[in-house]
Amino acid sequence: MRVDRCFRTSFYLSLAWACACMAYVAALDYPWEVFLAAVPLGLLLGVAYLVEGRWSLSVWVSNVLAVAVAALAGIYFARYFAQGAHRIDADWPLRLLPHMSFWLVVMMVLKCFRPKQVGDYWVIYGMGLLAVGLGCLLESDFPLGLLLAGYAFTSVWSLSLFYLQREHWRTQRPAAVPQPSSPAPPVPWRYAGLGQAVRRCLLACAMAALLFVVTPRHLGLGWEENLLRSSQMQSGLGDSTLDLNRTGSLRLSQEVAFEVDADLPDGQPKLDLNPEQRWRRNILNHYEAGRWSYVPRGGAEGKRNRPPPTGDAPGNPDGSLPDLGDGQFYLKYTFAGRLRWQLILADPLVLPAVGSPVVFLLDSEPTPVPAVRYADGELRFPLRRRHGLYRSYRQVTAPLPEPDLGPPVNVDEGQLDSYRLLPALSGLRERTGEMLNKLVERGRLSGDDIAVDGQGRLPDDRHERVARALENYLAQSGEYTYTLELRRKDATVDPVVDFLVNVKEGHCARYASALTAMLRTQGVPARVVLGFRGADPVGDGQYVVRQSHAHSWVEVLVQRPGPDGLPRRHWLTLDPTPGEEVALRDLSAWGRFWRAVSHTGGEFWRNFVTDYNSRQQEALWRRLTTGFGLGPAFGPLLLGLMVGGLLLVGVVVWRRRGRPVAAPLAAAAFYMRLLRIAARHCRLRPTPAQTPLEFAAALAEALRQRGCRTWEDFPRRVAELYYRVRFAGLPLPEAERLEIERRLGEFEAAVSRRPLWSASVENPTAAS
C-alpha cells in the first residue's frame, strides 16, 4: 500500500476516534443533541477523507467559514449564559467544557477541508488530542478507556506514517505539501505498518504504566469532584431530599463517598463484610409535589425541634463501645470532607439498652462524644454539637437473626401519623387497589389481607404481608424494569402516579417512592431511606463506598411478638428495585456477554486506574519488596532502580532517534559513508532531531561557504537515494551502487583537499 493512501486512512481514523471519545462523554448529558450533531459531522469527516489531496477550500473561503463558526459559537454561549444566569457560580467554567468540545470538533472538521502545510497536520493532531483530553477530564469510566485505547493506537500508527509521508513531500518540494504528481513509495513495513504501531503503542503504554505506578498518589479531590458537584444528574447523595420531577440520563459517579475500616474484637481485620451491606444516611417522611424530604414532628407549625430522645448516653472517657455479643465487629468511617450533622451508619442499626452508646464521634473533641438515640430509632449528632464538623467516627454492630428487621422501637401515635400522611394523588389509590386485587387473584394475598377498617387502614398484623407482596410485585413481576434514563409521560399527574401507571421504568428512587406511597394509601406507616448499598474491598479489612453505590429503599413499621408475647413495632427493610436478573431477562446472549465484559472491565479500570490510591500503591510496594525478599527499608531502593531503568530506556530511545535505522543497513551503506566523510573532513554531524534531507541541506551550505560549489548538490542526491532504499524498500541496482560509490570517493577526495576542518563549520539546523 502506498504511503500517502495509508497515511490518509490512519490520519482520519485517529480523528474519528478523537471525535468518538468526545461524543461519548457529551452523550451522557446531551444524548439527543449529540445524535443530531454526530450525523452531519461524521459525514463531513468522511467527505474530507475522500477529497483529501484532490480538492480543498480556498484560504479565503475557509477563513470566512471559520469566522461564521466563531460567530455562531458566540451566539450559542451568549444564549447559554442568558438562559442559565442563575446557575453561574464558582463551577460554571467546568459546566462549559462539554459545550466547548462540540465547537472544537466543528473547527477540527472544518480545518480538514483547508489547504494543508506540514504544520497544519500538527495543528489538527493537537486539536484531536485536546478533544480526547477534555473527554478524559469530564469522564473516566471503562467505555471511555476502550475509546482511549483505540485513539492511542491509531495516533501512533498515523504519526509513524506521517514521518514517511512528510519525507516524501520534502524530496519533491521541501517548502510545502505538493499535489500528488508522482506516485508515492510503498509503506516499507508489512501489513501497512500495523505491526510497528502495535509494538510502539505497547512500549508507550508500558512506560506510562510504570510511571503511573511509581508516581506518588494522594487522596485529595480533583476536578472531577467539582464536575460531579455541579451536575444535577449524578448518582450519589448531594442533599437530604429526593426530587422525582427531574428527568434525563442519570450518570454513575465512581467518586469515593467514604471509607470504612472493619475490625473484629481481637483487632484482626474483618475480610467478609457483606458485599450488599446497606449504609443508611437519612430518612424521608414528607411527600409533596413530587419531592420527598424530612419534616420532624411539629414542623408543620414552624417548629424545628427534633423528637425528644429516649436517653442521651453519657460520654465514656475511655471511648469504649458496648458489647453486642457474638459476631459483633467495629466499623470506623472516614470522610474526605467533613460530615455535618447526619450520620452514615451500617443498616440495620443494632441498638443496645438505653444509655449505652453505639457510636462515638472521634474528631474535633478532646474526649469521645456518643451519638444520640431518638424515639424513632435513629442515631444523630448531639443537639449541642449539631453545627460541629466531623471527619471520622466509630460504630459497633452485629448480625441480627433477620437481617432486614431492625430492633424494637417506641413510636408514638403522633409519629405514626407522619409516616401515614400523603397528599391526595389522583389515580394512586386506584392503581394500588388494582395491584392488590391482582395479587389476590394470583394467590399471593387473601381477601382478608387487603380488607381495611373504617378509617381506610389495614390492620397492624397485615402490614408485613401486604408490604412484602407489593415489594415482590414491583421487583419480580417483569411489568416494571430498571433504567437510569429518567423520563415522564404525563407531566399533568404526580410523578409517582406517572411512574406506576405510564412509565413503569426507572431507578431505585422511583421504586422506593412508589412502594412508600402505595403503602400509605392503605394506612401502613412507611418511609423512604437514602443511603448506599455495597462496598468495594481494598484489602486488610478496608472498604470504599462510592457515589455509584447510592441507593434508596423503604422501611415499613410492622408488628412482631416480643419475648413476653406482647406485640412490638419494628422497622422492616424492603427493596422493591428490580435486580440484575430482571434487568437481563430480555437481553440476548450477546447483550448478557457485553454486560459481563463491561462489568468486569469496569471493575478493573476503576480499581487499578481511576481510583488507584496511595493505599493500593503502598500495598503493591509491600508485595514487591516481600516477593524479592527485601525489607520495607529497601522499598525506596527498588523504586530508585525502577525509575533509573525507565530513565535509561528513555535516554537510549532518544539517542537512537537521530541515527539511521539499521533495517536495510547493507543497502544504505553509501549514506553511512557520507556521514563519516562529513564528520571526518567537515566536522559536521546530524543532530538527533535532524532528518537526512535537513542534514544534506546543512552540508550543502557548508560546501557553498567554502567555495566547493561543484559538490553542493551531491549530499541531497545521496539523501534522496537513501530515502528510496530506506523507506520505499527499493535496493539500488548494481550499476547505480557502483556509480554512487565512485562519486563518494571523488567527493571525499575533493573535500579532503580543502581545509574545511580548519575552520568552525556550523550546523544551521542545530544552531537554530
- Using CA atoms, how far apart are residues 109 and 45, in angstroms rounded to an integer? 6
The answer, yes or no, to whether residue 223 has pLDDT greater than 50, is: no
Q: Do 330 and 209 fall into the same domain? A: no
pLDDT at site 363: 64
On whether residue 350 sits in a domain, the answer given is yes
Question: What is the average pLDDT across 436-441?
Answer: 92
Q: Do 630 and 726 fall into the same domain? A: no
Q: Which of 100-104, 105-109, 689-693 is the most confident on average?
A: 105-109
Spatial CA neighbour of 550 closest among 228, 225, 234, 141: 234
Picking from 140-144, 373-377, 407-411, 554-558, which range would have the lowest pLDDT averaged per residue? 373-377
Q: Is 296 left (phi over 0), alpha (psi -120 to 50) or beta?
A: beta
Confidence label for 378 from pLDDT (cuts 50, 70 and 90): confident
The answer, yes or no, to whether residue 723 has pLDDT greater than 70, is: yes
Q: Are 288 and 365 in contact (CB under 8 A)?
A: no
On whether residue 434 sits in a domain, the answer given is no
Confidence label for 15 from pLDDT (cuts 50, 70 and 90): very high
The answer, yes or no, to whether residue 757 has pLDDT greater than 70, is: no
Q: Do 273 and 134 fall into the same domain? A: no
Q: Do 12 and 159 fall into the same domain? A: yes
On whether residue 73 sits in a domain, the answer given is yes
DSSP letters spanning 249-304: EPBPP--EEEEEEEE-TTS-B-----TT-EEEEEEE-EEETTEEE---TTGGGT--
- End-of-domain residue from the set 337, 368, 402: 402
Q: Give how far Cα 474 sits from Cα of 444, 490, 508, 635, Å.
A: 13, 20, 11, 55
Q: Do 13 and 160 fall into the same domain? A: yes
Q: Do 642 and 735 fall into the same domain? A: no
On whether residue 30 sits in a domain, the answer given is yes
Spatial CA neighbour of 484 closest among 503, 507, 504, 505: 507
- End-of-domain residue from the set 594, 628, 657: 657
- Using CA atoms, how far apart are residues 461 and 449, in angstroms rounded to an integer? 9
- Whole-number mean pLDDT of the chain? 78
pLDDT at site 684: 85
Q: Do 158 and 261 fall into the same domain? A: no
Q: Are 265 and 334 in contact (CB under 8 A)?
A: no
Domain span including residue 645: 613-657
The answer, yes or no, to whether residue 768 has pLDDT greater than 50, is: no
pLDDT at site 756: 44
pLDDT at site 449: 87
Rounded to 5 degrees, what are φ and ψ at 144? -65, -35
* 320-364 residue pLDDT tens: 787 888 888 999 998 876 555 568 889 888 877 655 667 777 765
Confidence label for 309 from pLDDT (cuts 50, 70 and 90): very low
pLDDT at site 14: 94
pLDDT at site 592: 67
The answer, yes or no, to whether residue 33 has pLDDT greater than 50, is: yes
pTM as predicted:
0.58
Q: Do 651 and 683 fall into the same domain? A: no
DSSP letters spanning 429-484: HHHHHHHHHHHHHTTSS-TTTT---TTS---GGGHHHHHHHHHHHHHHSSSSEE-S
On whether residue 730 sits in a domain, the answer given is yes
Helical spans, DSSP H, in 567-713: 580-583, 589-605, 614-627, 635-657, 669-681, 692-705
The torsion defined by the Cα of 729, 730, 731 and 737, in degrees rounded to 10, comes to -130
Q: Do 328 and 385 fall into the same domain? A: yes
All 3 cell numbers of residue 641? 532502580
Q: Do 208 and 264 fall into the same domain? A: no
All 3 cell numbers of residue 292? 420527598
* 634-655 residue pLDDT tens: 556 666 666 677 677 766 666 6
- Using CA atoms, how far apart are residues 472 and 576, in angstroms rounded to an integer? 7
On whether residue 520 sits in a domain, the answer given is no
Spatial CA neighbour of 756 closest among 661, 684, 668: 684
The answer, yes or no, to whether residue 92 has pLDDT greater than 70, is: no
When divided into structural domains, the chain yields a total of 4
pLDDT at site 384: 53
- Using CA atoms, how far apart are residues 628 and 131, in angstroms rounded to an integer? 43
Question: What is the average pLDDT across 499-523?
Answer: 92
Q: Do 640 and 710 fall into the same domain? A: no
The answer, yes or no, to whether residue 510 has pLDDT greater than 80, is: yes
Q: Do 137 and 164 fall into the same domain? A: yes
On whether residue 494 sits in a domain, the answer given is no
- Using CA atoms, how far apart are residues 559 and 570, in angstroms rounded to an integer? 6
The answer, yes or no, to whether residue 192 has pLDDT greater than 80, is: yes
On whether residue 313 sits in a domain, the answer given is yes
- End-of-domain residue from the set 348, 371, 402: 402
